[in-house]
Structure 1
Amino acid sequence: MDIVLGLQWGDEGKGKFIDLISEYYDITARFNGGSNAGHSIERNGKRITLKMIPSGIFMKEVQNLIGTGTVLDPVSFKKEILNLQIFDGIIQPEQNIIISRKAHLVMPTHKLLDVFMEENPDYTTIGTTKNGIAQAYSNKILRQNLRVGDIYTQDFESRAKHILQRDYKMLAAGDMVLPPLEEITKEFFDAIEFLKKFNCTETEIYLNHALAEGKKILAEGSQAAMLDIDHGTYPYVTSSSTTAAGACSGLGISPKKMGEIYGIAKAYCTRVGNGAFPTELFDELGEEIRIKGNEFGSNTGRPRRTGWLDLPALKYAVMINGVTQLVLTKADVLSGLESVAICTHYELEDGTVETVSGTLSDNTRPVLKWMQGWNADFTNMKDHSELPKELKDFLSFLEAELKIPVGYLSIGPGREEILKMK
Structure 2
Amino acid sequence: MFTIITGSQFGDEGKGKIVDLLAKDYDIVARFQGGDNAGHTVKAGGKVYKLHLIPSGFLLDSRVLIGPGTVLNPAVLAEEMEMLEEAGVPVTSEKLGVDAKTSVIMPYHIEMDGLREAARSEKIGTTKRGIGYAYIDKVARDEIRMADLVDEERLRSRLAEISAQKEATIVQMGGDASIVLDDEKISRYAALGQMLAPYVTDVSLEINRALDEGKNVLAEGAQGSHLDVIHGTQKYVTSSSTIAGSACAGLGVGPTRVDEVLGIVKAYITRVGAGPLPTELEDEAGKHLHDVGHEFGTTTGRSRRCGWFDLPLVKKAAYLNGYTSLALTKLDVLTGLNPIKICVGYMSEGQKLDYPPESTTVLSECVPVYEDFPGWEEDLTDVDSYEKLPENARLYVEKMEELIGVPIKYVSVGPAREQTFEK
TM-score normalized by the length of structure 1: 0.94
Q: CA RMSD in A?
A: 1.8
Deviation, 1:185, is: 2.9
SS at match of 1:397: helix
Structure 1: gaps spanning 5 or more residues? none
The answer as to 2:145 corresponding to 1:151 is no
Q: Who is 1:41 aligned against?
A: 42
Look up the SS of the partner of 1:223 in the other structure.
coil
1:339 corresponding residue in structure 2: 339
**What corresponds to 2:57 in structure 1?**
56
Q: Deviations over 1:187-230 (max 9, x none)?
A: 322222222131x1221122111110101000000011111111
Deviation at residue 378 of structure 1 after TM alignment: 2.1
Write the mapping of 1:93-108 to structure 2, written as runs, cut at 5 A: 93-108=92-107
2:287 maps to 287
Does the CA-based 8 Å contact 2:149-2:189 persist in structure 1?
A: no
1:308 aligns with 2:314: no
AA at the equivalent of 2:319: M
Mapped contact 2:68–2:250 kept (Cα < 8 A) = yes
* Deviation, structure 1 residue 370: 1.1
Matched letter for residue 149 of structure 1: A
The one-letter amino acid of 1:308's match is W
On the 8 A contact 2:150/2:196 being kept in 1, the answer is no
In the alignment, residue 111 of structure 1 is paired with which amino acid?
A: I
Correspondence for 1:17: 18
Q: Matches of residues 19-418 of structure 1 in structure 2 within 5 Å?
A: 19-59=20-60, 61-87=61-87, 89-121=88-120, 125-153=123-151, 154-160=153-159, 163=162, 167-168=166-167, 170-172=169-171, 174-176=173-175, 181-198=182-199, 200-349=200-349, 351-357=350-356, 359=358, 360=360, 361-418=363-420
Distance, in Å, in 1 between the alignment partners of 2:214 and 2:313 is 36
Distance in 1 of aligned mates of 2:127 and 2:240: 14
Alpha-carbon distance in structure 1 between the residues aligned to 2:377 and 2:175: 53
CA offsets, 1:380-399, max 9 Å, x none? Answer: 32211111111111111111
Determine the C-alpha separation between the residues in 2 that align with 1:358 and 1:21: 35
Give the Å deviation of 1:150: 2.4
The code of the aligned residue for 2:414 comes to: G
Deviation at 1:182, TM superposition (A): 4.0
Note if contact 1:109-1:164 (Cα within 8 Å) is conserved in structure 2: no
Q: Is the 8 A contact 2:150 2:193 kept in 1?
A: no
Would the aligned equivalents of 2:155 and 2:190 in 1 still touch at CA under 8 Å? Answer: no
Sequence identity, in percent?
39
Answer with 222-231 or 397-406: which moved more.
397-406
Consecutive unaligned residues of structure 2, counting only runs of 5 or more, are none
What is the TM-score normalised by the length of structure 2?
0.94
Could you report, residue by residue, the CA deviation over 1:152-206 in whole angstroms, capped at 9, with x for unpaired residues? Answer: 55432222355467535643554437896344333322222222131x1221122
Counterpart amino acid of 1:376?
A: E
Q: Which position in structure 1 is the counterpart of 2:421?
A: 419
CA contact (8 A) 2:335 2:380 kept: no
Aligned residue-pair number: 416
Shift of 1:244: 1.0
Q: Residues 385 and 141 of structure 1: is their aligned pair in 2 closer, same or farther, counting only changes over 3 Å?
A: same
What secondary structure is seen at the aligned counterpart in 2 of 1:261?
A: strand
- The range that moved more, 252-261 or 2-11, is 252-261
Q: Once the 2 structures are TM-superposed, how far is the Cα of residue 297 of structure 1 from its aligned partner?
A: 0.4
CA deviations on 1:97-154 (whole Å, 9 max, x unpaired) are: 11111111111110111000010137x5210111111000011111111211223554
Distance 2:343 2:300 in 1: 28
371-380 vs 384-393, which moves further: 371-380
SS in 2 for 1:77: helix
CA contact (8 A) 1:219 1:247 kept: yes
Distance, in Å, in 1 between the alignment partners of 2:171 and 2:355 is 47
